[in-house]
Structure 1
């Protein structure tokens, strides 16, 4: 459970910070210190963060660099009520939950509940989300269902990534990073105006690290990886009213998977593995042969913006993306290491418990047309059409060596091939009306979306060495109207409040790890009804920004995964549940003095199953909503002062997350953890025509021992754990022209 002492420290820190605001305000009342306006695009238009009636956290490029965020997985600690974890079979893929809504398994036949968007393009698969993003301008995290303006299954929320666009000014930036455990990274960004109307921007990054668990066995080290990312953007100002933006991005990751080690024995069936169990992070483990895993993700997009008049803009976003993934995971590192490698000769694949080899390919096309404008000077609107289509294939070979060691070598393997396709078509609109009454302080917003989804899949499953090979097919289709309504009121020029009701749904699909008898029938869509109230305020002459939100969810036909009682790697997905989530978020930004900035965010979540039917039985009282920490918060202090040779800067960051379970069943969980990070450096040192910046950084400075992911192997009687990254530190050197 969470320590009251930690909450006491956090509350004291906030009280002291607010007191410091008042003292500093009294001392410097003649100074016009104000927070910079934060511009977001969460509602498909450019507006102030304070005007968007959404619980939203946005990070600009400078803050992302300060926090060391280079991929989606890095943002978790900075966003309360957002929880991410590496996928069990591939660390390069992330499972994401917002406010307790998400899904723990990632498959070609089911969609994530948290949508990730790159420059307005939906990323259909979560594979490769830990890849570097070479040229990020901003990341916005939208907490809560986004069933109107965002295109695919965003019952949990959305993560929107905006890349830097080519512009009219020449610039060149070169960054070098070096850290412990063999970490290095190089990033090059250049912006080049070719003519008055054609501009090109390019970025390229490469990095490598050794990981934090040495593999004494053969093959890659655990967590060792090499990354590279490329982005090319071209902007053509065709005329005063038409702009074309083309972008190509490509990311690669290669390396070894993270190490699962035995940490707990849960029942007598696992007693034989007790000598190999350790409940703290090991610096060295081993497997027989840790094969290289890889992800290659790329995409093209073309955005056309046609400014017809001051009251109408038409935007077209056309995109194609593809991915190619191979993932190898051996779940036997502890058994192999602490047994001295005694077991491999007894099993075919050389892994004592289980190993999996997964190949995945996917490609997608999407087309979105948006109409943005104003009607009669009182109604701002966004409307459009959206089309998405994907095809994919996923093959997996799983060696069930725990069964082989139990004396059943003839049933030690399962191989399946899955082919899948999905198609979605939607029409959407959102109208914001500001009537003349009440001094135009009232704003009424109506959102509407109609979506039609279709998914087809076939699965060949060869279970237990050809004793049960068969092919099954399935088809799912659904449609849904998802309206939303928001009432907002400007209490003053700097304070507003809002109330909203929103709906969202996630299409049905199939479970590739399911039994043949249930694969073909698949599972149906799930639906979410959300109520939210909030306020956004800028206080003390805009030196303090305080945003609040409270929410209540009614979650029905919940898609839940349930382990097969016979096959330890098989799960079936059922519309087995109803859940209720409630909670709140507080986001505070304050100028404490001319040199000191405070950011503090807090999230509270109460998530419970109202119903959970497991193989015909009501078991909600024994189930936990996964990835739903009750309390989470982040506090950071940023210091910057101009000195004779540049700008001295420092930052201290602390993030806390309560315990939560990784699955609805079993004991696998992440305990309370608080992580401390810091940076110290000097920016803008004059170097001829350029500027030099140097920054020291450290993460998990207290070297906390915590679980990044766990698996409860149920009847097999044990738990395996991936531990999070230990203390890391390094140096960034950046030269800009």
Structure 2
């Protein structure tokens, strides 16, 4: 079956490539040709065709045609990308690009894909599942972006670009009603005050009943209760000087998500627990830990730009962000506190960036310095009723980072260009970890439980470390024609080291030393442009990456505790191919396709096995002194399907009830993927298709729009996350193997009015 799917995908890829030479088309309404799309992937405005980077630029119109409600739609329409809601959460973001990312959102851990709101780096993933409103476009930069975007962009970067204020008054009102009593209300607008000043604001309220129910408490499960707002003010006192003040706020009061039990619950003796069988509906739960959940984040930024002359522009970006989360996750999914995890997170960050951009006839470039000061803290309990204890864990990590960067492009001829850049980064980190066992299966004093002395202190340490890295980038590009550009590039990225906030000194004494950074060397060759006067647009690339000193988080039950450790386990290698294209067959019919293929393999995966353990490679008993083994043959990169694909088509019909009607069906495919580095058949996700549909009717003059959107219209059940604590790993954890699921079939009817 899998071979058949691959054959179909290859056939589709061949058809897509063939269409570039067999058909001619105009671009869909609302889109621009690849040489007209302006992006800021290299921190300066450039046409998409001229940027030697694999980047997807998704406009607001394209997001609407795909029925995108939040940025997780990027997972369906971007090659080799995983962009989804983190397990056990409603609005925490998990991202992987080309096999590189970070699944664990715990404070102190760094992402592998950087998220930016405009030019401001968002350090923490909580409330980072940004809803699509007040957005101009989203840029997805694939591959390491260490030169211009810094550390923690070794997989790539996602840039959420908000709308600029208009010189004319604007007002937009949107409303939508859909399945499960979904009600979305969005209002946005801006108004100029004189010739030099303008203000704008947008607010969105999202409500929806749950897809399932907590059968223990009666609460909605997988519901949505969120409000978000953005405000901005722009002042241009002179033609050469401008200021933009922007603020954003998000509050998520949706109920917590508890996992769906995939296997029968067992007690410490291995006997089935009554009522512990998997439920009939994957969106239901029997969790008893409660329904309290709240996430709140806010940010403020000031961007100042000064055009010194026709060639030089100086820019300052000052930003502050903070957030707080209180939540509960019931890993066992049962009324008893077999494996319950209440917790909280809090963070704040300050950043300052100065940029100097030069634009000459033959030379263009940007240089700057960047400073970041961040604090992240939290605490969580592991409540184990079968052991009669709670393991309390708390701590904090402080990060101070400074960087200097430059990137220069030289046009040797009108067609041949080169770009070279580099970034030096220095991170100073201080981590504090406290972990202790407390008697009684109730909340620990760390989370406001009954004050009591610890039964056993497992960790209580503070340590610090400094990490430095230079990340270069070089590229060569050549315009084959006025409309086609090919390029080759090399880039390096690194993700900072740190300290394991779950570190257990008793089980893993070396955890106090922390873990080292990881690096990626990436090589890429690409071709992008348009054919037939821009009627066909496409971009394609081949890449190879060498991933070293990989940080892998492992949690292994050990008696009445959980041994958590972050190892720099070794290295891996990945190579692949990506294609994005769009073609119009007639003036009223167009098709688009994105395809991604990746072959990702561990070369080294080292793990220490103590004396008496079973050697997983040959089944022998590990001798005295223990042994470190390379178990790369047993491991696989998580959240990295071999194939990803999206097909979509748009039919446009004029003079339908006096307006214009467009219909866009789409289909997306994700190949088999694992939740963790080692296979967990009960929760690993097999390949699946999702089918969506969108219809838009725009009234004459464009003031009114009515839309109908169907998502996952075949009601596919697919997992987007999971936890794996099987009975074989620890008898006190209730055989808790749980999955978290993507949304079921939904239909939404929307209406929009614009001034």
- Which of residues 383, 404, 409 in structure 2 aligns to 1:427? 404
Residue 687 of structure 2 corresponds to residue 707 of structure 1: no
**Contact 2:80–2:596 under 8 Å retained in 1:** yes
- Which of residues 448, 451, 456 in structure 2 aligns to 1:468? 456
SS of 2:547's partner is strand
SS of 1:73's partner is helix
Distance in 2 (alpha carbons) for counterparts of 1:728 and 1:137: 25
**Contact 1:670–1:707 under 8 Å retained in 2:** yes
Matched with 1:66 is 65
Distance 1:621 1:273, change over 3 A: farther
Distance in 2 (alpha carbons) for counterparts of 1:285 and 1:111: 31
**Contact 2:212–2:284 under 8 Å retained in 1:** yes
After superposition, the C-alpha distances for 1:577-617 in whole angstroms (9 at most, x for unaligned) are: 21101111011111221112221000001111100111232
Instruction: Name whichever of 170-179 and 616-625 sits farther off.
Output: 616-625
Distance in 1 (alpha carbons) for counterparts of 2:187 and 2:241: 30
The CA deviation at 1:275 is: 7.0
Distance 1:270 1:378, change over 3 A: farther
Matched with 2:522 is 530
> Which residues in structure 2 correspond to 1:166-245 (within 5 Å)?
166-218=165-217, 220-245=219-244
Query: Structure 1-normalised TM-score?
Result: 0.91
Distance in 2 (alpha carbons) for counterparts of 1:12 and 1:663: 30
SS of 2:2's partner is coil
The CA deviation at 1:19 is: 5.6
Distance in 2 (alpha carbons) for counterparts of 1:270 and 1:494: 67
Distance 1:14 1:584, change over 3 A: closer
**Contact 2:503–2:512 under 8 Å retained in 1:** no
The CA deviation at 1:642 is: 2.5
Distance in 1 (alpha carbons) for counterparts of 2:666 and 2:3: 19
Matched with 1:451 is 425
Distance in 2 (alpha carbons) for counterparts of 1:107 and 1:528: 23
After superposition, the C-alpha distances for 1:236-286 in whole angstroms (9 at most, x for unaligned) are: 011110000000110111122223122146999866359734387435332
After superposition, the C-alpha distances for 1:367-424 in whole angstroms (9 at most, x for unaligned) are: 111111135x3111111000111112211122123xx1xxx32xx2111221221011
The CA deviation at 1:132 is: 3.0
SS of 1:75's partner is helix
Matched with 1:520 is 512
Distance in 1 (alpha carbons) for counterparts of 2:229 and 2:575: 41
Residue 553 of structure 2 corresponds to residue 561 of structure 1: yes
User: Could you list the runs of 5+ residues in structure 2 that have no partner in the other structure?
Assistant: 440-453, 609-627
**Contact 1:448–1:481 under 8 Å retained in 2:** yes
After superposition, the C-alpha distances for 1:192-245 in whole angstroms (9 at most, x for unaligned) are: 111111011110000111121111221632112211111111010111100000
Distance in 2 (alpha carbons) for counterparts of 1:696 and 1:475: 54
Cα RMSD, aligned residues only? 2.4
Residue 561 of structure 2 corresponds to residue 584 of structure 1: no
> Which residues in structure 2 correspond to 1:717-728 (within 5 Å)?
717=735, 719-728=737-746
Counting matched residue pairs gives 702
**Contact 2:170–2:190 under 8 Å retained in 1:** yes
The CA deviation at 1:50 is: 1.1
Query: Structure 2-normalised TM-score?
Result: 0.89
Matched with 1:544 is 536
Distance 1:85 1:132, change over 3 A: closer
The CA deviation at 1:5 is: 4.5
Matched with 1:664 is 677
After superposition, the C-alpha distances for 1:159-212 in whole angstroms (9 at most, x for unaligned) are: 001001212111110000110112110000111111111011110000111121
SS of 2:272's partner is helix
**Contact 2:13–2:595 under 8 Å retained in 1:** no
Distance in 2 (alpha carbons) for counterparts of 1:257 and 1:646: 43
Distance 1:17 1:384, change over 3 A: closer
Instruction: Name whichever of 3-12 and 301-310 sits farther off.
Output: 3-12
Distance in 2 (alpha carbons) for counterparts of 1:281 and 1:10: 35
Matched with 1:650 is 663
Residue 586 of structure 2 corresponds to residue 602 of structure 1: no
Matched with 2:102 is 103
Instruction: Name whichever of 70-79 and 477-486 sits farther off.
Output: 70-79
Distance in 2 (alpha carbons) for counterparts of 1:733 and 1:21: 39
Higher RCO structure, 1 or 2 (CA under 8 Å, sep 6+):
2
Distance in 2 (alpha carbons) for counterparts of 1:7 and 1:697: 30
> Which residues in structure 2 correspond to 1:386-401 (within 5 Å)?
386-401=370-385
**Contact 2:24–2:532 under 8 Å retained in 1:** no
Matched with 2:445 is none
**Contact 1:34–1:543 under 8 Å retained in 2:** no
> Which residues in structure 2 correspond to 1:254-653 (within 5 Å)?
254-264=253-263, 272=272, 276-278=276-278, 281-282=281-282, 284-333=284-333, 336=334, 344=335, 350-351=336-337, 353-375=338-360, 377-401=361-385, 404=386, 408-409=387-388, 412-436=389-413, 440-465=414-439, 466-469=454-457, 470-516=459-505, 517-566=509-558, 569-615=562-608, 616-643=628-655, 645-653=658-666
